[in-house]
Amino acid sequence: MRIGLAGTGRIGAFHAKTLSTLPGVDEVVVADLDTTLADRVATELGIVSAPSIDALLGSGLDAFVITAGTAAHADLIEAAVARDIPTFCEKPVALDLERTIALAELEARSEVPVHIGFQRRFDAGYRRVQAAVAAGEIGFVHTVRAATMDQAPPHAAYLPTSGGLFRDCSVHDFDIVRFVTGREVSRVFAVGANKGEPFFTEAGDVDTAAATLVLDDDTLVSVTATRYNGAGHDVRMEVHGSQGTLGVGHDTTLAITSAEEGVDWPPGPRHWSFMERFLPAYVAELTAFADVARGAAPSPCTVADALQAFRTAEACARSMTTGQPVDLADVPGLLAIAH
């Protein structure tokens, strides 16, 4: 199998390395708008670079991986689907809701599989909780708590194209809530605040946010996010049921210090970035995509799934702006996700 990859930044270089080690992958070819960067990554990994992304797409690929800048995602998905190339794309699929809806509709009309990169679906802890909930192991679920806390903020230049904290960061929580519970979000109420660098306010963003979600079976979900968690990169979830509770991220790496006397847990070492936290999940995710590209499995996370998470992020952004709850029924895109 010959796999092309567009975008050779940090995550692109990591994915290229992973792809080159997968069974059945004969060749990995990379491209980037910065051809010098693509050439350097190719040399470091012992793979091939293409002179341009257009040349890459026209070079006879069996699969295509998109790790370019967010602004390029939608166009590259459309180009790959037009060429009947199975495609993997890092989230988000587009910068705005309208383009995301259009891509979900394109997917629905096409037989070309598209796999969106929500890597938490491949994390062992989240998969364990999803299986337990589906089997009724913890009874009925009444409360979920999800959190994503970055150790340090991104560079100021990243913010204007990020889509904001809910669309860029909490969207992972919104997707994994759907995955774990098997339910849809029906209503949200969200707030945000800034206590850090002024460039968040200048970009119309917040550095810390919280949202309450009501699912379609009346399960209550709290989602929190921050760009300032000096204790370490902290991503976790608690799922509380009538017969038990399961947690994800509550291992020895948990970025917290107990205030109780004589308690020295967790011992560490802590994670300091999402790459450390989800390294095994990223490998499992691309392994799954190789199966999708071979036709051995359907996409485990479609554009329609990405649209649902984006609609929740959109609802939270609207709620934060207006100070009012927002019903998901009032956010466009509902019909586009029927699948």
Q: What is the pLDDT of residues 227-280, one digit of tens each?
A: 999 999 999 999 999 999 999 999 999 999 999 999 999 999 999 999 999 999
Residue 279 within a domain: no
Residue 253 within a domain: yes
Helix, strand, or coil (residue 331): coil
Residues 106 and 154 in one domain: no
Residue 237 within a domain: yes
Task: Give pLDDT, residue 161.
Answer: 86
Tell me: the pLDDT tens digits for 35-85? 999 999 999 999 999 999 999 999 999 999 999 999 999 999 999 999 999
Residues 64 and 144 in one domain: no
Residues 98 and 28 in one domain: yes
Model confidence at 335: pLDDT above 70 = no
Residues 241 and 105 in one domain: no
Q: What's the number of domains the chain is made of?
A: 2
Task: Give pLDDT, residue 336.
Answer: 44
Residue 289 within a domain: no
Tell me: the pLDDT tens digits for 317-329? 999 999 999 999 9
Task: Give pLDDT, residue 338.
Answer: 44
Which of 85, 120, 155 is a domain's end point? Answer: 120
The domain spanning residue 32 has which CATH number? 3.40.50.720
Task: Give pLDDT, residue 339.
Answer: 41
Tell me: the pLDDT tens digits for 87-116? 999 999 999 999 999 999 999 999 999 999
Q: What is the mean pLDDT of residues 3-21?
A: 97
- Within 8 A by CB and 6+ apart from 96, the residues are none
Residues 246 and 155 in one domain: yes
User: Environment class of residue 181 by beta-carbon count within 10 Å: exposed (0-12), middle (13-18) or buried (19+)?
Assistant: buried
Q: What is the mean pLDDT of residues 190-195?
A: 98
Which of 102, 120, 138 is a domain's end point? Answer: 120
Residues 95 and 211 in one domain: no
Contact 308, 334 (CB under 8 A): no
Residues 71 and 11 in one domain: yes
Residue 284 within a domain: no
DSSP label at residue 300 = S
Residues 329 and 248 in one domain: yes
Measured CA to CA, the distance from residue 114 to residue 104 in angstroms comes to: 10
Which of 58, 92, 120 is a domain's end point? Answer: 120
Tell me: the pLDDT tens digits for 161-179? 899 999 999 999 999 999 9
Picking from 189, 145, 225, the residue whose alpha carbon sits closest to that of residue 317 is 189
Residues 321 and 224 in one domain: yes
Contact 296, 267 (CB under 8 A): no
- Helix spans in 47-170 (H): 53-57, 70-82, 97-109, 124-134, 165
Contact 17, 24 (CB under 8 A): no
pTM of the model: 0.96
Residue 327 within a domain: yes
Model confidence at 133: pLDDT above 90 = yes
Task: Give pLDDT, residue 334.
Answer: 74
Residues 241 and 135 in one domain: yes
Compute the mean pLDDT over every residue in the chain, rounded to the nearest whole number: 96
The domain spanning residue 178 has which CATH number? 3.30.360.10
Residues 23 and 84 in one domain: yes
Residue position matching structure tokens 């997917």: 107
Residue 161 domain boundaries? 123-272+303-337
Model confidence at 181: pLDDT above 80 = yes
Contact 119, 96 (CB under 8 A): no
Residue 171 within a domain: yes
Residue 295 within a domain: no
Buried-exposed string 68-97: b where 16+ CB fall within 10 A, e elsewhere? bebebbbebbebbbeeebbbbbbbbbbbeb
Query: Any bridge partners for residue 212, and if so which?
Result: 189, 222
Residues 192 and 204 in one domain: yes
Residue position matching structure tokens 């891509």: 103
Instruction: Report the Cα 230 to chain-centroid distance in Å.
Output: 22
